[in-house]
Amino acid sequence: MNRLLSRKAFKAFFKLHEACCLTSTQYFLKPPRVLVNKAQYISEDRPEFPGSKSEFVHKLKFLWPEKMEGIPVYRVMNRKGEIVDPSEDPGLSKETVIKMYKDMTMLNTMDRILYESQRQGRISFYMTNFGEEGTHIGSAAALNPKDLIFGQYREAGVLMWRGFTLDQFMNQCYGSSEDLGKGRQMPVHYGSKDLHFVTISSPLATQMPQASGAAYGFKRAQNGLCVVCYFGEGAASEGDAHAALNFAATLECPVIFFCRNNGYAISTPTRDQYRGDGIASRGFGYGMVTARVDGNDIFAVYKVTKAAREICIQENRPVLIEAMTYRIGHHSTSDDSSAYRSVDEVSHWNKEDTPIARLRLYMINKGWWNDDAEKEWKRDSKKKVMEAFANAEGRKKPNPEMMFTDVYKEIPKHIQKQMDQMKQHVHAYKDHYPLDSYQKMG
């Protein structure tokens, strides 16, 4: 049965991505003719080395990456919000499309307010998602809400789609007593067990091989779910990225590696990050099914993620998706990107190609949205964000004793002693500690 299903899933995927993706099998068994001259002298023997499968040639030819054609970018909807090939239209309901739009724009509004609040010292740090909203919402919408997410740090939209509330976002950024992470991490390090989103960790790419392991666990549990790992094109340079992709491929893990290629790792442009054809080209090297997609086209992101998920689940194998997009915001509030890229470049993308504007055009074309609806939604969404913001700002921080819990499952004696010493000390010097801003210690 699996076999049949798997073929079906594969066919669907190939149909979808005929134009934009290669599979590892295609890549290895049928090397592009430009690269290897199908020589006159192909021997009848075939190489029998355990490490490769191909054929002998008797003329030396190097593979020159410059001579390879770039991997195409799958797109459903153009910049005018028109579906290019009607057969590729995902046919999402008005309700779903409007939720997609509202989540993207709500994320946008939240970003603007939290960014500003950091500039004023109200929160310590923030990272916006400007320009990448389509990759978040498009992929999240295509998943089973129970698929486990391992994110990098710029995927707040995935949580928003799944129902993380504005209060939850704000409480995390303020490290308030209601923060699910107990005030321990910097802003934007969200996580939610209920929403199957593993809490963000700052070090880059560390989540990637973990995602492979989690996917292997899911496969053994036969729970019909997959794991989704988001990462940036910069993080893909870390050693962990290599381990992740190679483990996932060799151990046949149902995991989607979703690369947000937004052009910059802080200041470092892709030219300094890699010299191959993006991150997608690496998929073949690992023997992974791979696709590249226009990350600013939410429908294309949706379709590729949905198809990738089918392959993951039906075939028990990983899929690599490279979503091409552009980071319109600064890396974080600690960064001023005008020091390394032109304001014109940023405003070009902001004006010409954002996932939000594109979806809005689609909705307007469909008669699902208009200026009045836009105005009303903008007003409502800002009001909601501001309310959550004010509530979080007014809340106290957690009880300082909570810095000692969860280091281990139980509190070891030496840490218990340190907690007691801290309480005693702070009590003795209470005028010198900001106790009023925190919940009372026991």
Q: How far is the CB of 381 from other proteins (least distance, A)?
A: 10
- Site for other proteins contains 11 (CB under 8 A): no
- Site for other proteins contains 183 (CB under 8 A): yes
Q: How far is the CB of 432 from other proteins (least distance, A)?
A: 6
Catalytic residue among 322, 330, 331, 381: 331
In the annotation, is 43 catalytic? no
CB nearer to other proteins: give 22 or 106.
106
Catalytic residue among 202, 334, 338, 342: 202
Please give the order of strands across the beta sheet that includes 319-324: 197-198, 148-150, 227-232, 255-261, 319-324, 289-294
- Site for other proteins contains 268 (CB under 8 A): yes
Q: For the segment 117-146, give every residue that binds other proteins (CB under 8 A).
A: 117, 120-122, 124-125
The token pair at 24 is 């590892």
How far is residue 274 from each of residues 69, 234, 264, 302, 408, measured CA to CA in Å? 17, 9, 11, 27, 40
Q: How far is the CB of 386 from other proteins (least distance, A)?
A: 4
Q: For the segment 273-302, give every residue that binds other proteins (CB under 8 A).
A: 273-274
- Of positions 335, 361, 368, 374, contacts other proteins by CB under 8 A: 335
CB nearer to other proteins: give 217 or 276.
276
Q: How far is the CB of 409 from other proteins (least distance, A)?
A: 14
Q: Please give the Cα distance from 27 to 283 (Å, whole number).
A: 10
Q: How far is the CB of 28 from other proteins (least distance, A)?
A: 26
- Of positions 82, 116, 345, 420, contacts other proteins by CB under 8 A: 116
- Site for other proteins contains 267 (CB under 8 A): yes
Kindly report the backbone phi and psi dihedral angles of residue 261, in degrees, each rounded to the nearest multiple of 5, phi listed first. -90, 95
CB nearer to other proteins: give 134 or 187.
187
Number of residues that bind other proteins (CB under 8 A): 63
Task: Tell me the window of 25-33, 248-256, 354-362, 430-438 that interacts with other proteins (CB under 8 A).
Answer: 430-438
In the annotation, is 116 catalytic? yes
Residues 387-406, mask of contacts with other proteins (x by CB under 8 A): ---x--xx--xx-x-xxx--
Residue 36 contacts by C-beta under 8 Å, 6 or more apart in sequence? 57, 61, 63
Task: Tell me the window of 68-76, 222-230, 267-275, 311-319 that interacts with other proteins (CB under 8 A).
Answer: 267-275
CB nearer to other proteins: give 116 or 194.
116
CB nearer to other proteins: give 334 or 365.
334
Residue 419 pairs with which residues in a beta bridge? none
In the annotation, is 202 catalytic? yes
Q: Which residue type is seen at 171?
A: N
- Site for other proteins contains 422 (CB under 8 A): yes
CB nearer to other proteins: give 6 or 268.
268
Residue 149 pairs with which residues in a beta bridge? 197, 228
- Site for other proteins contains 436 (CB under 8 A): yes
Residue whose C-alpha is closest to residue 114's, from 368, 349, 320, 389: 389
- Site for other proteins contains 180 (CB under 8 A): no
- Of positions 39, 92, 361, 415, contacts other proteins by CB under 8 A: 415
Q: How far is the CB of 9 from other proteins (least distance, A)?
A: 34
- Site for other proteins contains 383 (CB under 8 A): yes
Q: Please give the Cα distance from 402 to 398 (Å, whole number).
A: 7
- Site for other proteins contains 368 (CB under 8 A): no
Residues 220-259, mask of contacts with other proteins (x by CB under 8 A): --------------xx-xxxx-------------------
What does the binding site for other proteins look like in residue numbers (CB under 8 A)?
Answer: 109, 112-113, 116-117, 120-122, 124-125, 175, 183-186, 189, 201-204, 234-235, 237-240, 265-268, 272-274, 334-335, 339-340, 382-383, 386, 390, 393-394, 397-398, 400, 402-404, 407, 414-415, 418, 422, 425-426, 428-429, 432-434, 436-437
Residues marked active site are found at 116, 202, 331-332
